[in-house]
Every structure is written in structure tokens, then in C-alpha cells.
Amino acid sequence: MTPSGLSGDFALIGMAESDVGIVPEKSPRELCVQVTLDAVRDAGLTLKDVDGLITCNAFAEPILYHAEAVAEYLGWQPRHCVSVSTGGGTTFMALNMAAAAIAAGMANTVVVAMADSLRSFMTREQAMVVQSSSGHPHYEQPYGPTVPAYYALIARAHMHQYGTTEAHFAEAAVSCRAWASQHPKAQMRDPISVNDVLNSRAIADPLKVLDCSLVSDGGAAVVITRKDRALDRPHNPVYMLGYGEGHAYEHISQASDLTTSAAVQSGAAAYAQAGLAPLDIDLLQLYDCFTPALLIQIEDLGFCEKGAGGDWLASGISKPGGSKPLNTHGGMLSYCHPGNPGAMFGLTEAITQLRGNAGERQLEHVSTALCHAQGGIMSSHASLILGREC
């Protein structure tokens, strides 16, 4: 890796997704194995051609040495093998780690694979333990909040500071569903309106159930290598142009500002590496675990002024036919959200769009994509800019 960062030196040459939504016939490890094999095959390779594996552990089937367990299942011994867990931001942080491993000579070609089965392999009680265990053990957990309550706190802060309304948040869900209605694999495809969101079941004031991401099974994987190894593959390579991270805090009680996130830092770093600006981005794939999170990322990544995210969404700019398409697979609000692997599907959708293989929802002009994810409660952010040309 050059001192200036990715600089187009690395390419994504293979990708795969499992079925998503409700997939009870395969465990999280089996899903991870499946997408690993499928992504390698999509790249026109075999496991003998791949010498690195990076995975993320599963909530529904935690394994002490997760990457090694996946490799063991495959009868494969990659020389670089590691499990990463940085919450929802794991996807892009793992990709950057893969690029660093290749640059350091630890591997030549790496698979990044993630899967989980929150819908089929976790009981409601287990899910509630996960939902309530992310808070600070002394200053948050004793008061009983779950993850939706933390994002409701963020929503209320944005409403207070900028005059954002519940209808503004609802526009995020409506936009994602409009795209999901065009995707044959999406978990939820029926179109919804702002009123549908506002009238859906209350979860944590002001958030309704349609403001919250889905609970899903699913897995996805990608194959990364140096650009000189990306030639003569079955698909045109997608290049990694820029990357950045931002880390603000671990627990929300320690946040200095609830309405501005470390996406400001991660986005700025990614733009600088890629030599691009928000106006140069054709496609946005952002982490929509809850509607206020999506709105804040839009602002912090520079697509509108601070406080204008609600009006930006309400304008229709992110919907089919709009000039800044957002989460064209439907996002975690409508496509699927199997936990930490959720951002993988934004990545595979970006690759699909840049390859020109998105079918009914294919964008006419797309040469750049910004993928962004965050872990914790808007805590740890990672931004990745992709392009058809390096």
C-alpha cells in the first residue's frame, strides 16, 4: 500500500451473497462457507489461488477462532487468517486490513466473508441480551435501554437542534423501500409511505418499527487482490480508491455531540485519498440501521448542509430517478440486516452496480460509489470509495 493510501492499487474481483431474510436451513458458519466458495468462484479462482481469509464472528454461533473454523470446514489452510469484530463497521475495516496484508506481503489474494443468522438461530431472549448489553455497564445498562433507545436519543437531539421531524426520518425508510421493491431478493418489497412509517408500531419514541432495520439471516463475501492481478478475470474489477476511519467514543454517554458523528473524519480521509468530493459520487451505500443514523451520515459525509438531511431525503433525490441514489438494494431497512455483516450487502450492491449487473434497478451512469458503515451507537466509522477505473 502506498503512503497515500489505497490509490486504486487494490481491486475487488469476486463477490457473492447467500439467500437473505429467513434462511433456517443453514447455520451462520455454513452461510459463511457458502459465500466464501461462491465469491472465489465468481472471481474465476479456486481456493488454491487464494491465501488469505478475514471473517467476522457471528452472534448466533460465536466461535473462538472464527476464521480458522471456516477454513477448517473447507479443508483450507490460508497463510493469512484472522477474525475481526468492530461492529457494523467491520466490513470496510476488514477490507482495509486485507489491503494492508497484501501490501505487507502476508497474502496475495484475500476473501473477506461474513454471515449471521439473527432471525433463525437466536431466540427473542438471546436477541434482547445482545440489544441491552452494548451500553456502559455502570452508566447505561442499569437504566435498561436497548439499542433502539440509544438511536431514539440521537433522533430527539437532532429534532431539538435542527427542527427535524418524524416525517423526515420516515423519508429514509420510504426511499430504501422504493429501491427494495425493485430487488427480487429483498426481504421487504411492498412500497410504503411516510404515513405508513408514522403509523407503524412504536418502538422507542420517536422511532417506529419501520424506522428500524430488519432482523435477518444472510451472508456475503468479496475477493480482493492487487490491481495487477485483477486482469483477465470474469468480471471487470472494481477498484478501491479511498478509505478513512473515524472513532469518537465507545459508549453514547461519552459522546460530546449526538448530532454529528465521526463520519466527518472518515469521509474526509476517504475523499482525500480518492481525490474526489461528494459531488463526484454517483452512488451512496450507507449504514441504515435506524433512520436517524442514515440522515446524520448523509449530512456528515457532505451531501447536504448540517441539519438539512431531512429535507434532502424529502426532495426525492435518493429515490429511483433521483440524482443521488441511496441504498439501491433497499438497505438494512428493507433488504436485510443480519447484524455485523449488514454493510456487506451495501458493498456487494455497489459492486453489482459498478459492474452494470443490477437489472431493473441498474443506474444509467455510475462510475463511483461511496460505502459507509458504523459500529456501536454511531461510535466507530469507516468510509470506502470505489470506482470502475483506478
List the one residue out of 101, 81, 71, 91 whose CA is nearest residue 10: 101
Condensed to tens digits (0 to 9), the pLDDT of residues 80-133 reads 999 998 889 999 999 999 999 999 999 999 999 999 999 999 887 777 777 767
What is residue 129's predicted lDDT score, i.e. its pLDDT? 73
Catalytic residue check, 151 = no
Distance between CA atoms of residues 208 and 11, nearest Å: 39
Taking the CA atoms of residue 352, residue 353, residue 355 and residue 360 in that order, the dihedral angle to the nearest 10 degrees is: 90
What is the average pLDDT score of the chain? 95
Catalytic residue check, 287 = yes
Let me know: does 50 contact 223? Beta carbons within 8 Å. Answer: yes
325 cis-preceded (ω within 30 degrees of 0) = no
Distance between CA atoms of residues 151 and 154, nearest Å: 5
Let me know: does 215 contact 341? Beta carbons within 8 Å. Answer: no
pTM of the entire structure?
0.96
pLDDT > 60? residue 225: yes
By DSSP bridging, strand 10-17 and strand 238-247 are: antiparallel
pLDDT > 60? residue 2: no
* Residue in 162, 239, 271, 287 annotated catalytic: 287
Let me know: does 54 contact 79? Beta carbons within 8 Å. Answer: no
What are the residue ranges spanned by the domains of the chain? 10-122+216-229
Average pLDDT rounded to a whole number, residues 363-370: 97
The top-level CATH class assigned to 10-122+216-229 is: alpha beta
Element (H, E) at 217: strand 217-226
Condensed to tens digits (0 to 9), the pLDDT of residues 18-68 reads 999 999 999 999 999 999 999 999 999 999 999 999 999 999 999 999 999
pLDDT > 70? residue 3: no
Average pLDDT rounded to a whole number, residues 207-227: 97
Residues in the chain: 390
Condensed to tens digits (0 to 9), the pLDDT of residues 228-266 reads 999 889 999 999 999 999 999 999 999 999 999 999 999
> What's the grid cell of residue 103?
501490501
What is residue 247's predicted lDDT score, i.e. its pLDDT? 96
Residue reference for cell 475523499: 271
Distance between CA atoms of residues 375 and 247, nearest Å: 9
Under the banding of pLDDT at 50, 70 and 90, the label for residue 1 is very low
Average pLDDT rounded to a whole number, residues 66-76: 97
Condensed to tens digits (0 to 9), the pLDDT of residues 350-363 reads 999 999 999 999 99
